[in-house]
Amino acid sequence: MKQEQVQQIAEQWLTAAAETAAQKDLQAHMGMISKRISVEGVPGFEHVDYDIWYTQCQHQFAMSMIKSIAYKGFNLISANQSEIVFTVHETVLATDGTLNEQIVEKSLEKEDGEVWRLVRERVLIENDAMRNHEVSKQD
């Protein structure tokens, strides 16, 4: 695959992930996450698997805790026909005004049905890449 195709697939996945979270569409959002998901580097969790991710999203969506999620700074690490690994700057704005910014490494794999799903995510905490702080509430 060409880099442009790879970046388009990854950016479409990121857009859909942010949109399904904003719409609180748990089924669509979890359809983008592999049952084999493995997340590392989340403060307070040694390891996050599919069940933990599902429970966390279910709670956050039901309580309307997320105002928006945005991604910028796509950086391709590697890609082939069935896997894309990249880093991206993720910004999550909570409805209580908390802003969480972090750089994450994501690995998408093409699973059954030719669907790209997130199989691995690693929060990269270096050079103050992860910051939590209050922002003014915006109506």
CA distance linking residue 68 with residue 61, whole number of Å: 12
pLDDT at site 104 = 95
Asked, for residue 139, whether it belongs to a domain, the answer is no
Residue 68, SS3 per DSSP: strand
What CATH number is associated with residue 52?
Answer: 3.10.450.50
Measured from the Cβ of residue 123, the count of other Cβ atoms closer than 10 Å reads: 18
Q: If 0-12 CB within 10 Å is exposed, 13-18 middle and 19+ buried, where does residue 137 land? A: exposed
pLDDT digits (tens, 9 = 90+) for 34-75: 999 999 988 788 889 999 999 999 999 999 999 999 999 999
pLDDT at site 85 = 96
pLDDT at site 69 = 95
Q: Is 138 a residue whose pLDDT tops 80? A: no
pLDDT at site 42 = 83
The fraction of the chain above a pLDDT of 70, given in percent, is 89
Number of domains, the chain? 1
Closest by Cα among 4, 3, 17 to 116: 17
| pTM more than 0.95 | no
Cα-to-chain-centroid distance, residue 7 = 15
**What is the DSSP annotation of 66-80?**
EEEEEEEEEEEEEE-
**Residue span of the structural domain in which 26 resides:** 3-134
Measured from the Cβ of residue 133, the count of other Cβ atoms closer than 10 Å reads: 9
CA distance linking residue 110 with residue 130, whole number of Å: 29
pLDDT at site 126 = 52
